[in-house]
Amino acid sequence: MQFVEVAQQYGSTIEVSNGTRSVDAKSIMSVMLLAGTQGTVLTIHADGDDAQAAADALVALVAGGFGEMEDEVG
Amino acid sequence: MKVKKGIGVSPGVAIAQAVVLNAEEFDIPQRHVAVDLAQAELARLRKATAVSKKEIQELRKQTAEKIDKKTAGIFDYHLMLLEDKELHKQFTAMIVGSHAAAEYAVATVLRNYAKLFHDMPQHLADRVHDVYDIEKRLLRNLIGQHRQTLAHLKRNVVVVAPDLSPSQTAAMDREHVLGIAIDVGGQTSHTAIVARGLGLPAVVGLNDLTADAAGGDTIIIDGTRGVVVLNPDAETLAHYQQMARQQVEFLHSLDALRDLPATTSDGHEVLLLGNIEFPRETATVLDKGGQGIGLYRTEFLYLGSDTEPSEEDHYNAYREVLNLCPDRSVVIRTLDLGADKYTQSRARIPERNPMLGLRSIRFCLQHLPAFKTQIRAILRAAVGTRASMMFPLLTSLKELRQAKAIMRDVIEDLEEEGVECAPDLPVGIMVETPSAALQCYAFAQEVDFFSIGTNDLIQYTLAVDRGNERVASLFTGANPAVLRLLQEIIRAGQRYDIPVSMCGELAGDPKYTVLLLGLGLRTFSVTPSAIPEIKKIIRGVTMERALAVANRVMKLDSEAEINNYLRMEMHKLLPEAYTD
């Protein structure tokens, strides 16, 4: 929930992917369903003016809770 | 088309549109709107979303003030759900793309999410409740005050619900409800008993049917096979429509038997009685041609209200039935509560294994004031009638002697007070535990009659909970051990010359009628809707044939063989009956 709240603070388009599916990081429904299993490697893809800041903030946030993270800024 | 398997608890076929109830009993009035109304539907949805948002914000404010900020956080989460972009994208897609009504879009999309969450790990599965909460809120704001209950329906429906409470089933519009399908429950659940009493096809134990079904879906309930078909294809629909027509014709053909006696074709008389749960069912029993009430359950007095019934509540309920049966047999069973979820949910500490816990006579013997109140009312109501009293779930003679001692105390009290009562009313027991069955010769010497309760007898003999779908198929009366017990109970009754009736479900299952006659059973007490069918079988068979069937069955050693043989015999006598 915090993840989505943080994502919503940024203007960039942010997508989060588990390797097979990519969803809007600002949609709580989508993120919850994606994050269903622990140990999944999530990739964050942000696109826009504040993309780097958004990606950094999100990675910092979930590093503890969701396990390994990779980030990728486009 | 989607086919779902559950537990068939009341036979027959019903085909109608679904009314899907959630806890607040919303029914989606219509599924689709005209093409040019899509924008209007979107506007309605926007408005409902805005109102819902205000409500949640208000709730959050109140919660923060009254409780604390942390607890109020749940409403932040609800707000996020409510405004979720992806959610609204899907609502819009359904409304614009499929001409869905806003309510239908909301229910469909959110139920789909609920289903996805349902299959997730526990911490996410619990989110289902939040999704349902949002759904309810949006629907309430879309449908407004047009909340529909089951009391006043305008069209024929099949009711789909997570569960039905006794008050919901009691208030049901019998004209328009054709069938019932619920997510939870087993053969002995309240809904199952009510559905059988009303003769409504019903399937329970469907798990997540309410997530799959939407209001207005065409739905087939096949209560005989325990199957529900959602939005059937043309071929399936035609097949079931044909079956439903045959069922109606068959039931009409049975009407002719109403006033004829339940006598075998070679002249052996059988007493055919009805089981009732509510006083008003008495009329149905008599209307179906039942000769009296073989089981009057009294739990409704407790389940319908939050306070314990008074002696007058008891008395009035018994008189209501006895007034309709002034010269007929009426067997009143004392309170059989304990293992049901109503008692359990109210218990301070729920029992770990309620079926083996403080239930029925055990409960009564530990709650003497309530037990005495009931016995007083029965003794008073029985004056000038053919009423009798029956204790359930005995496992030892000690319990019987205790119960009878309490009854003597009550009689003494009444006589001292000069209150008119029926001190000599017959007292019997339900034989429904293996221990009572194995001690039946001893019990027979201390009671006036036996009534065999097959549901519990089978459950305890075979150690099967038929509400548990993983083992439900093991629950069968066709097990040789069960049949052996039945045979012994009937023999004990013959030896000591006391009447033996059967009020369990086996008595109302046409497959077993001939066998039970052959084993010596002469009193059948069945759910009202089954009376005509059982009568037809009794009238069509000779005692000689029944004895031969019983002899044959008692030599078989497998459930499958017994089942097949009984089914074959039944089809000879009742070729029209639709069975699995």
How do residues B370-422 score in pLDDT, each as one tens digit? Answer: 999 999 999 999 999 999 999 999 999 999 999 999 999 999 999 999 999 99
Q: Which of B565, B512, B564, B563 is nearest to B541 (CA)?
A: B512
A24/B86 touch (CB, cutoff 8 Å), yes or no:
yes
Active-site positions of B read 190, 503
CA distance B93 to A7: 24
pLDDT value of residue B531: 93
Mean pLDDT of chain B: 88
Q: Report which of residues B59 and B335 the model is more confident about.
A: B335
**Closest residue of B to A32, CA-based?**
B124
pLDDT value of residue A37: 62
Best of B75, B79, B86, B90 to substitute, by most chain A Cβ atoms within 10 angstroms, is B86
In one-letter notation, the amino acid at residue B430 is M
Token pair 């990779």: residue: A70
Considering only CB atoms, B81 lies closest to which of A24, A28, A35, namely A28
Considering only CB atoms, A36 lies closest to which of B76, B85, B124, namely B124
Provide the pLDDT confidence category of residue A67 given band limits of 50, 70 and 90.
very low
**Closest residue of A to B79, CA-based?**
A28
Q: What angle do CA B462, B472, B226 make, to 5 degrees?
A: 145
* Cα-to-chain-centroid distance, residue B184: 11
Q: Count of CB contacts below 8 A, A vs B?
A: 37
DSSP-based three-state secondary structure for B347 = coil
Interface of A with B in 42-71 (CB under 8 A): none
pLDDT value of residue B73: 77
* A24 contacts in chain B (CB < 8 Å): 85-86
* A33 contacts in chain B (CB < 8 Å): 113, 116-117, 120
**Closest residue of B to A8, CA-based?**
B80
Most confidently modeled range among B206-210, B454-458, B465-469: B454-458
Q: Is B289 left (phi over 0), alpha (psi -120 to 50) or beta?
A: left
Largest CA distance in chain B: 80
pLDDT value of residue B53: 92
The yes-or-no verdict on residue B436 having pLDDT over 50 is yes
- Partner A contacted by B155 (CB < 8 A): no
Q: Report which of residues B575 and B270 the model is more confident about.
A: B270
What are the residue ranges of helices labelled H in B119-232? 122-125, 128-143, 166-170, 190-198, 209-212
Q: Using a pLDDT cut of 90, give the percent of chain B over it.
A: 53
The yes-or-no verdict on residue B174 having pLDDT over 50 is yes
Q: Using a pLDDT cut of 70, give the percent of chain B over it.
A: 91
User: Mean per-residue pLDDT for B181-192?
Assistant: 77
The yes-or-no verdict on residue B340 having pLDDT over 90 is no
User: Mean per-residue pLDDT for B546-554?
Assistant: 97
Best of A8, A9, A29 to substitute, by most chain B Cβ atoms within 10 angstroms, is A29
Q: Report which of residues B306 and B270 the model is more confident about.
A: B270
pLDDT in tens, B131-155: 888 888 888 888 764 445 566 677 8
pLDDT in tens, B94-108: 999 888 888 889 988
User: Mean per-residue pLDDT for B47-64?
Assistant: 87
User: Mean per-residue pLDDT for B521-529?
Assistant: 94
* Cα-to-chain-centroid distance, residue A58: 6
Residues whose CB is less than 8 angstroms from the CB of residue B403 and which lie 6 or more positions away in sequence, other chains included: B334, B361, B364, B365, B391
Q: Report which of residues B58 and B296 the model is more confident about.
A: B296
Give the side-chain half-sphere CA count within 13 A for B430: 27
Are B60 and B72 spatial neighbours (Cβ–Cβ below 8 Å)?
yes
- Partner B contacted by A22 (CB < 8 A): no
B84/A29 touch (CB, cutoff 8 Å), yes or no:
yes
Considering only CB atoms, B86 lies closest to which of A27, A35, A36, namely A27
**Closest residue of B to A23, CA-based?**
B86
A32/B127 touch (CB, cutoff 8 Å), yes or no:
yes
Q: Is A66 exposed, middle or buried (0-12, 13-18, 19+ CB in 10 A)?
A: middle
The yes-or-no verdict on residue B119 having pLDDT over 80 is no
DSSP letter at B357 equals S
The yes-or-no verdict on residue B275 having pLDDT over 90 is yes
The yes-or-no verdict on residue B342 having pLDDT over 90 is no
Considering only CB atoms, A36 lies closest to which of B80, B81, B121, namely B121
User: Mean per-residue pLDDT for B338-349?
Assistant: 63
Q: Which helix (H) or strand (E) holds B184?
A: none
User: Mean per-residue pLDDT for B416-444?
Assistant: 97
Q: Is A6 left (phi over 0), alpha (psi -120 to 50) or beta?
A: alpha
In one-letter notation, the amino acid at residue B536 is K
The yes-or-no verdict on residue A11 having pLDDT over 70 is yes
* Cα-to-chain-centroid distance, residue B223: 12
Cα dihedral sign, B431-B436-B441-B447 = negative
Sheet holding A42-47, edge to edge: A22-24, A13-17, A42-47, A69-73
User: Mean per-residue pLDDT for B192-197?
Assistant: 79
pLDDT value of residue B481: 97
Considering only CB atoms, A32 lies closest to which of B76, B85, B124, namely B124
- pTM, two decimal places: 0.65
DSSP of B270-308: -EEEEEESSTTHHHHHHHTT--SEEEE--THHHHT-SSP
The residues that bridge with B333 in the sheet, in sequence order, are: B390
The yes-or-no verdict on residue A59 having pLDDT over 90 is no
DSSP letter at B94 equals I
Compute the CA torsion angle B502, B508, B511, B516 (nearest 10 deg).
20
B120/A36 touch (CB, cutoff 8 Å), yes or no:
yes
- The two counts, helices (H) then strands (E), for chain B are 26, 16
**Closest residue of A to B77, CA-based?**
A1
Report residue B328: phi and psi, to 5°. Answer: -115, 160
CA distance B408 to B405: 5
The yes-or-no verdict on residue B366 having pLDDT over 50 is yes
The yes-or-no verdict on residue A41 having pLDDT over 60 is yes
- Partner A contacted by B81 (CB < 8 A): yes
The residues that bridge with B263 in the sheet, in sequence order, are: B269
Tokens of residue A5, six digits: 């709240």
pLDDT value of residue B139: 85
Sheet holding B2-5, edge to edge: B2-5, B227-230, B218-222, B13-20, B157-161, B177-182, B202-204, B7-10
Best of A5, A8, A9, A28 to substitute, by most chain B Cβ atoms within 10 angstroms, is A28
- Window from A54-68, B19-33, B485-499 with minimum mean pLDDT: B19-33
- Rounded to whole angstroms, what are the CA distances from B340 to B275, B353, B415, B436, B486? 19, 11, 35, 22, 26
Cβ neighbours of B334 (radius 10 Å): 19
Best of B74, B76, B78, B85 to substitute, by most chain A Cβ atoms within 10 angstroms, is B85
HEC per residue, A4-70: HHHHHCCCCEEEEECCCCEEECCCHHHHHHHCCCCCCCEEEEEECCCHHHHHHHHHHHHHHHHCCEE
Q: Report the Cα–Cα distance between both ends of chain A, in Å, rounded.
A: 24
Q: Report which of residues A1 and B455 the model is more confident about.
A: B455
User: Mean per-residue pLDDT for B24-35?
Assistant: 68
- Partner A contacted by B413 (CB < 8 A): no
